[in-house]
Amino acid sequence: MCGITGIYRYKGKVDEKVLLKLSNAVRHRGPDHGSFKIFNNVGLAHRRLSIIDLSNHANQPMSCCDNRYNIVYNGEVYNFLEIKKTLIKNGIKFNTNSDTEVILKSFVFYGYKAFSLFNGMFALGIYDSLKNELILARDQYGIKPLYIYHDQNLLIFSSEKKSILKFNEIRIDINYQAMSEYIWFGNPLGNNTFYNQINELEPGTIIKISKGKTEKNKFFDINNIKETQISEDDAVERIKHLFKKSIKR
């Protein structure tokens, strides 16, 4: 478990003290290392729980391509070694043994198609400093959390709502519909939270923030999975195969 936080201002600069305040609110998610980067109107912060590649080289925010692309990421992509082998064959070089670097360089190489390649759980933000674009993405089933506040002046994202609530400039009020849903169903429905101005990024979804505009696209939709007619014996063997493959990864 790690913690990610970021701010994208449409006008003005990101305040270092504010970004650190938001990042410290999720410090418990990543006690091993904490760092941040500010690119004028964009700030990225990360709290790390070291699991894969324990070296400092794998700390985040991580950058590549002469600091053009920068990532903050929470999760684990189980097939990252397979993806890494393919990238190496295509001439991509690596400086760490982390899955973070594989995710970042997969995005650089494949673009948005990279997210469909990842088998695992993730919530991430990637900033392209050349285009001044922020890309947010969440795994296919929404295993890892990613909360977003968005108004006409800025966008804030974080692994936890309480981090966003530390931002003093924004106005937040209670979403009573979501509270009712929680009482009835055990959780708010859809991407609702207890606050009207804070939503979860939907599973399998990408958001691009650029030039004052927001664009949202899905790279995975569970409703598009087609039903297959097979025998019970074939289904049992298929499950065994997939289960063993999953454990191996």
Report the phi/psi class of residue 202: left, alpha or beta, with left for phi > 0 and alpha for psi in -120 to 50.
beta
Q: Is 25 exposed, middle or buried (0-12, 13-18, 19+ CB in 10 A)?
A: buried
Return the structure tokens found at 221: 């939709």
Cα(40)–Cα(10) distance, rounded to whole angstroms? 11
Residues acting as catalytic residues: 2
Give the phi and the psi of residue 205 in degrees, each rounded to 5: -125, 145
Question: Are 48 and 57 a contacting pair, CB within 8 Å?
Answer: no
Report the phi/psi class of residue 16: left, alpha or beta, with left for phi > 0 and alpha for psi in -120 to 50.
alpha
Give the phi and the psi of residue 229 in degrees, each rounded to 5: -95, 105
Q: What is the DSSP letter of 171?
A: -
Question: Secondary structure of the chain: what % helix, strand, coil (to 5)?
Answer: 30, 30, 40
Q: Is 79 exposed, middle or buried (0-12, 13-18, 19+ CB in 10 A)?
A: middle
Cα(69)–Cα(134) distance, rounded to whole angstroms? 10
Question: Are 2 and 30 a contacting pair, CB within 8 Å?
Answer: yes
